[in-house]
């Protein structure tokens, strides 16, 4: 039986694990992130971004649920890494190594006793999000490929202008138009390696987003005269 692409659940439903997709539940970790993280209101690396990555990683887990490539423990490790991957992100331009270090510090501080045995594996998955990547995505295992594809795909969502353009504009100290003009090169190089990623974000969607970017730049070009 082939896996089916299905996006399931709200964030509360995901962390409560009502369908028993993965081991245990993640209510404690979401509580920790919501009450302890210092990046909740960042321009881009904020609460919305973290929840979006968690949601997508959960979608990937559900996609692969009928295969034997991911155990329930693998899924839990992936979802914990998703919650913590930007924990306390500085929200400013600088080496991502610093942000990864802050995230791992929080993970070690708040990890539950039942997850301590898997700390090294969760750390490995989380470190896979450090950008720019030190190892090409296609050379990584499925869990790292999933979290990377989830992490870079927010530019393809409905809220991409607010979240990506204005979000990075705030963090990078650039104008929204400058960030907008950076989108086409990024989108043109965007690649999905997993079966889930290719199903969730087909090339037609990427091409459509590139067209939208071009049209939006054309409308917002300050050199164009605004009709009276």
Band of residue 2 on the pLDDT scale cut at 50, 70, 90: very low
Asked if residue 31 belongs to a domain, the reply is yes
Structure tokens at 111: 């990890």
Q: For residues 127-139, b (16+ Cβ closer than 10 Å) or e, as one string?
A: bbbbeeeeeebee
- Which pLDDT score is estimated for 225? 58
**Pairwise pLDDT comparison (67 vs 222), residue with the higher score:** 67
Asked if residue 77 belongs to a domain, the reply is yes
138 conformational bin, left if phi > 0, alpha if psi -120 to 50, beta if neither: alpha
Asked if residue 140 belongs to a domain, the reply is yes
Q: How many CB atoms lie within 10 A of CB 199?
A: 15
Entry pTM: 0.94
Structure tokens at 224: 């164009």
Asked if residue 122 belongs to a domain, the reply is yes
CATH number of residue 167's parent domain: 1.10.1300.10
Residue range(s) defining the domain that contains residue 208: 11-220
Largest alpha-carbon pair distance within the chain? 66
Pair 51, 174: CB distance under 8 Å: no
Give the 3-state secondary structure percentages of the chain, helix then strand then coil, rounded to 5.
Answer: 65, 0, 35
Asked if residue 225 belongs to a domain, the reply is no
What is the tally of structural domains in the chain? 1
Q: How many CB atoms lie within 10 A of CB 14?
A: 25
CA atoms within 13 A on the CB side of 191: 5
Asked if residue 2 belongs to a domain, the reply is no
Instruction: Provide DSSP, 93-127.
Output: SS-HHHHHHHHHHHHHHH--GGGGGGHHHHHHHHH
Asked if residue 99 belongs to a domain, the reply is yes
- Which pLDDT score is estimated for 66? 87
Pair 146, 85: CB distance under 8 Å: no
pLDDT of 1 strictly over 90: no
Average pLDDT of 68-72? Answer: 91
pLDDT of 118 strictly over 70: yes
Asked if residue 1 belongs to a domain, the reply is no
């Amino acid at each position: 039986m082939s896996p089916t692409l299905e996006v399931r659940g709200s964030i509360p439903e995901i962390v409560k694990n009502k369908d028993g997709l993965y081991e245990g539940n993640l209510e404690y970790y979401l509580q920790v992130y919501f009450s302890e993280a210092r990046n909740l209101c960042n321009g881009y690396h904020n609460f919305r971004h973290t929840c979006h990555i968690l949601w997508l990683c959960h979608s990937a887990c559900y996609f692969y649920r009928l295969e034997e490539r991911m155990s329930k423990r693998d899924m839990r490790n992936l979802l914990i890494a998703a919650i913590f991957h930007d924990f306390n992100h500085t929200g400013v331009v600088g080496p991502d190594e610093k942000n990864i270090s802050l995230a791992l510090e929080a993970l070690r501080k708040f990890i539950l006793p039942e997850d301590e045995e898997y700390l090294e594996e969760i750390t490995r998955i989380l470190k896979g999000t450090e950008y720019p990547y030190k190892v090409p995505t296609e050379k990584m295992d499925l869990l790292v490929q999933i979290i990377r594809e989830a992490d870079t795909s927010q530019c393809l969502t409905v809220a991409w202008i607010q979240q990506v353009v204005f979000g990075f504009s705030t963090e990078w100290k650039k104008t929204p138009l400058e960030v907008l003009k950076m989108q086409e090169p990024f989108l043109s190089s965007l690649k999905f390696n997993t079966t889930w990623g290719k199903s969730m974000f087909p090339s037609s969607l990427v091409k459509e987003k590139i067209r939208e970017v071009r049209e939006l730049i054309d409308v917002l070009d300050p050199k164009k005269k605004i009709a009276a």
